[in-house]
Structure 1
Amino acid sequence: MTKRIGYRSWRWSALWWYYFFLLWSTIAGQTRYSIPEELKQGSIVGNLAKDLGLGLSEIFDRKLRVASEAGEQYFTVDAGKGELVVNDRIDREALCGQSVSCVLTLQVVIDKPLQLYRVEVEILDINDNSPIFPSQNIILEISESTAAGARFPVETAQDIDVGVNSVRSYTISKDDYFSLKIKDVSGGRKVPELVLSKPLDREKKAKHQLQLTALDGGNPVKSGTSLITINVLDINDNFPIFEKNVYKVSLSENTAQGASILQLIARDIDEGPNGDVEYSFGAHIPDTVLSLFNINSLTGEMRLTGILDFETNSNYEIDISAKDRGTPRMEGHCSVHIEVLDVNDNAPNIFLTSQPNSVPEDSPSGTVVALISARDLDSGDNGKVVLQLPKGCHFNLKPSFSDNYALVTGDSLDRERFSEYNIDITATDLGSPPLSTTTTVHVTVTDVNDNPPVFTQPFYSVYLKENNVPGSILHSVSASDLDLGDNAKISYSILDSKVQDVSVSSYVYINSDNGSIYSMHSFDYEKLKVFQIQVQAKDQGSPSLSSNATVHVFILDQNDNAPAVIYPSSAALGSLSHQRMPRSAKAGHLVTKVTAVDADSGHNAWISYRLAEATDASLFTVNLYTGEVRTKRAVSEQDDSSQRLLIEIKDDGEPVQSSTVTVSILLEDGLHEPILDLRHKLSEPSRKTGRITLYLILSLASVSVLSLVTLLILAVKCIRSSRSSGSCCMRRSDCDDYKNPNRNLQIQLNTDGPIKYVEVLGGDMLSQSQSFRSCMSPMSEYSDFTLIKPSSTTDFKEVISVLDASLPDSTWTFESQQVRNQCTCYTPHLHRYTFFSGVCMKYLKHIYQ
């Protein structure tokens, strides 16, 4: 009985697959093979590679594999020959039952690129089963009053083979009373019937035995037999007769248990017990039918006792028997056909034909991610399935064929925003009400190198004290990359550039792994104040991406330079300077002016002057800020003719740096008054002084013209060479000799010390309007430029153009003070320059930190 249940299950399943494959067979491009069942393992089905148009190398390279919708792997592919071969024994009867068509559907999946082919293998029946009767002994009881020509249906033989291999004919052993007739019934079945050739005579023969043989149409022919035993009974010669030979009923598969199905009625014209009818199912009804249906033996009412399932079995044919209570009992037969109607009670199923592939984030729209199929066990609209994706999804479903779809990318992907997707695919049928199923497909987005490294800031400012220790760390830069793996591994490097015509790589070194920048040597603020480093961060992707950042390195000044004396000049005489002054000098007489500069900046360059030692401290004083040496009182006859002053010059740095200069002053009688005092003498009209004044004016004018021409030439040259030279500052200085006002100008270049200057000499040494000096600072990219215009009196008019190295100001305020022949310039940043007697002197570098 179990075998028969399995047979019916396979039969209906095969019937469902038959209609499914029949629909699929209409699709162009499918491959179909036909093989007999029971082939040996390894038997060749066909050359799959050739039929699919694939080369043998593609089978291995593209990973061709075969999947069967039947569940068991009956076939495999010989990768060496491209042939589809049998992998396991195929029993058509076990696989498809008695279905007319038995087709195995194979899905051939090929990767790289992903493709799906449909291959059908039809399993042909062979005659490997003999007809079998449900019972080997059939017992019939026939009344002797039965009239000749009466027919008695007997059990039909079953042959699980199909087509010509199924049961085709019956024969019976020779008997004088009985012959065999074949009756065709619905469904193409043939039912054997015994026909009474002449009336029976129980007294002559009470029992008849006949050999019933069933023959199939195979080659060779197979057969099965059953022994029919006929017991001849006495007189109850009427059997029950149903109103219909065939009853047809349609039931919905959701019909409730206990519902009445059909009322059967059979009548027997006999009287008494011979006319009482009892209803029952046929002798060989499967248990599956008995579990679903019940018949009332007295009333003939059929009821549903189980749960119908259209997908399991959609049709039932039930034999009903009606027997009387006579002796012998007589019976009538009818057939009930029950058709099960489908309702939408099965939700769709979603199958992943191939596992989802990981997708690079730069994949173009339409890239196939996975192959998906949908199935619904219901029929009609209840079995039609529609797949949907959520709104706003980055993927689309592309229909392929017969409820097969390809999941493809819909738009561009960005792994940095979403590295993976859980895609909910909903399958909904067209039933009423519709049923749906949701499956989640996980898709991973792989990284490509589409993000360059990004620095934490585009510009870095580093402040470094000069005289630093070589090898010390300057700064650390950092960059990040949104990519993964090698695409996010960053190496740092310094782009080649020039700093003072030297490669920046000779100044600094960068650790390529962590971005730490180290100094290669000690820096000097006076030589280099600021420079830039272009740092590049590059990832290790292919192709690699990079970005740059600028590091501004500012060298901070340290007080490492002592003040340098630029006047009085001591290049030839060491630290000793000789000055002369008349004994007639009054209090406040300007003896000389000490001028010093400091190569440092800020507070480190603030200079102050102090009289450290003196032969007579009561006679001279030094201005703290200007360095002017003046008499504190009038010179007396008792003062020594030789005076020695030691002047200390200090800056305002920490620690303090200082230098000294020794000034030797010779007091002489009858020495000309300095130009500072000529202003008072000239105011007294006299013929002698007027004539001297006229000569002095003419001399000064001629020398001034020549000096201006020379200064203009020097200025032009200075401007042209300003890129390579420092800065220019021209100042007027004292002359050592003024005896020949018409002498040629002398130009002297002084390159000693931190201040470079050009000195133009001409005229009397006492004439402070006959000398011009151009001072050039190597620490500045601009020039301090001072021009003293000669005058016939001691009232000087300066024209000053100053550009400071550390603070390149664009606007200067000029202030002329008619006090002691002194002019002062102020910059917007409160840089103050004092000019006296043509000597350029920085009075105050900074007054604020």
Structure 2
Amino acid sequence: MDFTTEEMLGRRCLLLSLLLLVTWESGSGQLHYSVPEEAKHGTFVGRIAQDLGLELAELVPRLFRVASKGRGDLLEVNLQNGILFVNSRIDREALCGRSAECSIHLEVIVDRPLQVFHVEVEVRDINDHPPLFRVKEQTMLIYESRLPDSLFPLEGASDADAGLNSILTYKLSSSEYFGLEVKTNSDGNKQIGLLLRKSLDREDAPEHNLLLMATDGGKPELTGSVQLLVTVLDVNDNAPSFQQSEYEVRILENSDNGTTVIRLNASDRDEGTNAAISYSFNSLVPSLVLDQFSIDANTGEIVIRGNLDFEQANFYKIRVDATDKGHPPMAGHCTVLVKVLDENDNTPQIALTSLSLPVLEDAALGTVIALISVSDLDSGANGQVTCFLTPHVPFKLVSTFKNYYSLVLDSALDRETKADYKVVVTARDGGSPSLWASASVSVEVADVNDNAPAFAQPEYTVFVKENNPPGAHIFTVSAVDADAQENALVSYSLVERRVGERALSSYVSVHAESGKVYALQPLDHEELELLQFQVSARDAGVPALGSNVTLQVFVLDVNDNIPALLGPWTPGSGGVVNELVSRSLGAGQVVTKVRAVDADSGYNAWLSYELHSSTGGSRSLFRVGLYTGEISTTRAFDEVDASRQHLLVLVRDHGEPALTATATILVSLVENSQTPKASSRASGTVGHEVSLVNVNVYLIIAICAISSLLVLTLMIYTALQCSAPPPETGCGPVKSMLVCSSAVGSWSYSQQRRQRVCSGEGPSKTDLMAFSPGLPPCPIVGGHQDLNEDHNSRVKQLVPLTAQSSVIFLFLPLVIVIPRNTRVYYLFIYLFIYLFTIVAL
């Protein structure tokens, strides 16, 4: 069965496609297709989407695209069916010249996620170029003296095709004088020459017209021809000759001008002028050779006259003629093959594409940032390029194919630590010395809301004076967010809670943007000493992050409460109290006591008492304790003293400025027999006070009895101890440790918030204030007291001191500190302690 040429080509394409598909499936890692050159628009190349494992429906959403570096739009992909087809005319010779292999490299890129595939499309050669000779007609001068079998070199034809299509065969038209000789040179090229079969006779045939035909190996065959005009010359019958017909020279590119390539030496068997030789380039030498080389006509030395660049041309074929000066002159011929050796004179080239910037700081490891391709025009080791990154960057290079790399994320990013990176890609070739080039990529790290607003400290203490104006600014909170833009935009709010019976927002508010905290109403230290709450700071990120800070607002006391009188000075009593006092009272006797409290605290609640004014000469009769408020007599009453005394006691706190209250006391001096009656006629409030005084009298009597018992016991015990014969060591005097007090008294102030004490019968106080009574001055003990003081004197000193101390230290706590309703219980406790002491002694 006969097949047409197109059917044969179709079968070849099908078999080659099947072979490429099997090769791909075997794990080559790259798609290979083939297409003949000059294929028509729309010619099927391959099902690229199916071969890459991509669904047709995802080609458009994933931005399927094909890139061909420097190849234009020769090939295209139909996104509807995923078929790769020919888009425009493909000229293999324009793409690859005479290279044996010719292919188009495609980069297939899809996004979401980013993937890169590499496709090689081989362009198959077709026999579309016939053999061509440089000239249509070639003239040759041959002396008739040339011997048979002389060879005259001819310029061969060239075929732009490759492979079998470029293999040429030559055929010379029939001639009895000339034949064609074809030789294959060391470089694989064919050298043809015109072979003289028998001697020429110019007189018989001065000219010979020959036709040289060249036929390529394509199907169908194409031919080219050149007309050979041979002119037979007379006289000089020996031509110059070279030692060899072909010379091969190797020289480095970029050699200096004037460098000698080779010195040729031809010889001529003739003598005289017929043996004088001049050298020249053959007339058929191309202009490129003439631009790069020159030859000395006398010496035959070929030197460099232009810059040799391996990347432009790495091989030169120079035909040299050696012509004698005979008449007619004769010429010899040789070929000089100049091979240019590569030097490492080209730096690598770096191309960056498909940048995915900026990069989120929470991007996954392995995320592709950019695609990088490198190239080097040099060859061999000089053109082998390796790439690397600057150290200490969270990226790495991953080789995808030959000189193609992907810049991928290698470690986690943190924008707050470093917001951008300058990644320098360096490409270095394998030459010696090596050359390198670098390209920089600025990789910006995009922010992710991964940092919550942070306060400088977890808790703040704020001091605010009470009675502040409404809306007063008391503090400013500030939080800093390490993120950027809206992720760092902080807003503030209160963490709502209940403060007693009211909401926190009724006391304070916070400005959402500035963080300023305002007191919405005046704060009262007596109502609220400590206001503790939290302020929340949240950013504007999605999702939003937040943190809290605690504010402890201490409300500082201001002296805004006047002292309040207790006991009889209750509201509605008129501020006046009547007291009945017996005229028989002596000096230093307590008549009554003014009790007052202050709702403030600290110094503002420390009260002092002062007898402000009096009538009837009472200033000399009475005095008031500065800190106790006890009104006592200064002397015994006389008959001339008025029976009715008017006392005005000023109660003053220690605030700034000080606040005062006054208590008015009307003291009636009566005889002893009238005291109970007067007491019975007093008002209800006064009667209650008198009943309390009676109770205190009974308590004092009991305390005195117990104290007397203790004193008597101590005296007996001391007498027994000291009357006994003293031991050898002796019973010497012992210094007693006494507790002394000044006339003003001592006081202390405690900041313990929950310790409370009462003064009189008023409400309990927050701050503790204790005052020592007026104790007698401390006795001065001399440094040389007699150690042999008699027993009686020691007892006399010990008994009063013991009795006085017992009465004071038992009586004072019961009167000042212990409430009236519990004094009886404390009395029994002290009684038990005394009895236990007696038993122990």
TM-score normalized by structure 2?
Answer: 0.74
Quick one: distance in 2 between partners of 1:171 and 1:316? 27
CA shift, 1:403, in A, is 4.2
Consecutive unaligned residues in structure 1, runs of 5 or more: 1-23, 675-732, 740-760, 772-778, 789-801, 828-832, 841-849
Residues 705-762 of structure 1: CA deviation (Å, up to 9, x unaligned) = xxxxxxxxxxxxxxxxxxxxxxxxxxxx9973889xxxxxxxxxxxxxxxxxxxxx79
Q: Which residue of 2 aligns with 1:116?
A: 116
Q: Which residue of 1 aligns with 2:433?
A: 433
Whether the 8 Å CA contact 2:597–2:605 is kept in 1: the answer is yes
Q: Which residue of 2 aligns with 1:402?
A: 402
Q: Which residue of 1 aligns with 2:661?
A: 659
Counterparts of 1:573-592 in structure 2, within 5 Å, are 573-592=573-592
CA shift, 1:401, in A, is 4.3
CA shift, 1:65, in A, is 4.0
CA shift, 1:438, in A, is 3.5
Q: For the structure 1 residues 378 and 672, does the alpha-carbon distance in structure 2 shift closer, same or farther, using more than 3 Å as the test?
A: farther
Q: For the structure 1 residues 264 and 72, does the alpha-carbon distance in structure 2 shift closer, same or farther, using more than 3 Å as the test?
A: same
Consecutive unaligned residues in structure 2, runs of 5 or more: 1-23, 677-684, 703-751, 776-803, 823-841
Q: Which residue of 2 aligns with 1:163?
A: 163
State the secondary structure of the residue aligned to 1:99. coil
Q: For the structure 1 residues 472 and 77, does the alpha-carbon distance in structure 2 shift closer, same or farther, using more than 3 Å as the test?
A: farther
Q: Which residue of 1 aligns with 2:651?
A: 649
Q: For the structure 1 residues 824 and 84, does the alpha-carbon distance in structure 2 shift closer, same or farther, using more than 3 Å as the test?
A: farther
Q: Which residue of 2 aligns with 1:562?
A: 562
State the secondary structure of the residue aligned to 1:161. coil
Amino acid at match of 2:594: V
> How many residues are matched?
710
Q: For the structure 1 residues 384 and 222, does the alpha-carbon distance in structure 2 shift closer, same or farther, using more than 3 Å as the test?
A: closer
Quick one: distance in 2 between partners of 1:300 and 1:68? 49
Quick one: distance in 1 between partners of 2:811 and 2:476? 43
CA shift, 1:825, in A, is 13
Q: For the structure 1 residues 734 and 56, does the alpha-carbon distance in structure 2 shift closer, same or farther, using more than 3 Å as the test?
A: farther
> Which segment drifts farther, 578-587 or 240-249?
578-587
Quick one: distance in 1 between partners of 2:41 and 2:641? 138
State the secondary structure of the residue aligned to 1:551. strand
Q: For the structure 1 residues 225 and 431, does the alpha-carbon distance in structure 2 shift closer, same or farther, using more than 3 Å as the test?
A: closer
Q: For the structure 1 residues 574 and 38, does the alpha-carbon distance in structure 2 shift closer, same or farther, using more than 3 Å as the test?
A: farther
Whether the 8 Å CA contact 1:823–1:836 is kept in 2: the answer is no
Q: Which residue of 1 aligns with 2:384?
A: 384
Counterparts of 1:215-294 in structure 2, within 5 Å, are 215-253=215-253, 255-294=255-294
For residue 805 of structure 1, the aligned residue among 762, 766, 776 is 766
CA shift, 1:510, in A, is 1.0
Amino acid at match of 2:672: G
State the secondary structure of the residue aligned to 1:291. helix
Q: For the structure 1 residues 599 and 184, does the alpha-carbon distance in structure 2 shift closer, same or farther, using more than 3 Å as the test?
A: same
Q: Give yes or no for the alignment of 1:593 onto 2:566.
A: no
Q: Which residue of 2 aligns with 1:736?
A: 688
Q: Which residue of 2 aligns with 1:551?
A: 551
Whether the 8 Å CA contact 1:735–1:764 is kept in 2: the answer is no
Q: Give yes or no for the alignment of 1:608 onto 2:581.
A: no
Q: For the structure 1 residues 341 and 819, does the alpha-carbon distance in structure 2 shift closer, same or farther, using more than 3 Å as the test?
A: same
> Which segment drifts farther, 68-77 or 87-96?
68-77
Whether the 8 Å CA contact 2:141–2:230 is kept in 1: the answer is yes
Quick one: distance in 1 between partners of 2:196 and 2:631? 167
Residues 291-338 of structure 1: CA deviation (Å, up to 9, x unaligned) = 332222233222233333333333222222233344444333222222
Quick one: distance in 1 between partners of 2:399 and 2:323? 60
State the secondary structure of the residue aligned to 2:258. coil
Quick one: distance in 2 between partners of 1:158 and 1:67? 34
Whether the 8 Å CA contact 1:92–1:102 is kept in 2: the answer is yes
Whether the 8 Å CA contact 1:421–1:442 is kept in 2: the answer is yes
Amino acid at match of 2:629: G
Quick one: distance in 1 between partners of 2:622 and 2:202? 179
Quick one: distance in 1 between partners of 2:138 and 2:394? 71
CA shift, 1:38, in A, is 3.5
Whether the 8 Å CA contact 1:592–1:630 is kept in 2: the answer is yes
Quick one: distance in 2 between partners of 1:82 and 1:816? 113
Residues 318-373 of structure 1: CA deviation (Å, up to 9, x unaligned) = 22223334444433322222222333333334443543644333446555443434
Q: Give yes or no for the alignment of 1:416 onto 2:416.
A: yes
Whether the 8 Å CA contact 1:567–1:593 is kept in 2: the answer is no
Amino acid at match of 2:688: D
Q: Which residue of 2 aligns with 1:300?
A: 300
Whether the 8 Å CA contact 1:252–1:341 is kept in 2: the answer is yes
TM-score normalized by structure 1?
Answer: 0.73
State the secondary structure of the residue aligned to 1:339. strand
Q: Which residue of 1 aligns with 2:630?
A: 628
Residues 157-191 of structure 1: CA deviation (Å, up to 9, x unaligned) = 22222234336334455556555555444444445
Q: Which residue of 2 aligns with 1:101?
A: 101
Quick one: distance in 2 between partners of 1:815 and 1:466? 34
Amino acid at match of 1:415: R
Quick one: distance in 2 between partners of 1:671 and 1:246? 167
Residues 660-680 of structure 1: CA deviation (Å, up to 9, x unaligned) = 333344443334889xxxxxx
Q: For the structure 1 residues 579 and 79, does the alpha-carbon distance in structure 2 shift closer, same or farther, using more than 3 Å as the test?
A: farther
Residues 369-396 of structure 1: CA deviation (Å, up to 9, x unaligned) = 4343443433333333343444545444
Quick one: distance in 1 between partners of 2:479 and 2:411? 30
Amino acid at match of 1:652: H
Counterparts of 1:29-178 in structure 2, within 5 Å, are 29-39=29-39, 44-70=44-70, 72=72, 74-86=74-86, 88-146=88-146, 150-166=150-166, 168-172=168-172, 178=178
Residues 600-621 of structure 1: CA deviation (Å, up to 9, x unaligned) = 1233223233445545352544
Q: Which residue of 2 aligns with 1:743?
A: none
CA shift, 1:140, in A, is 2.2
CA shift, 1:594, in A, is 0.9
Amino acid at match of 1:600: D
Whether the 8 Å CA contact 1:734–1:770 is kept in 2: the answer is no
Counterparts of 1:306-385 in structure 2, within 5 Å, are 306-352=306-352, 354-355=354-355, 357-363=357-363, 367-385=367-385
State the secondary structure of the residue aligned to 2:566. strand
Could you say which structure has the higher strand fraction?
Answer: 1
Amino acid at match of 1:133: F
Quick one: distance in 1 between partners of 2:819 and 2:296? 146
CA shift, 1:581, in A, is 2.0
CA shift, 1:58, in A, is 4.5
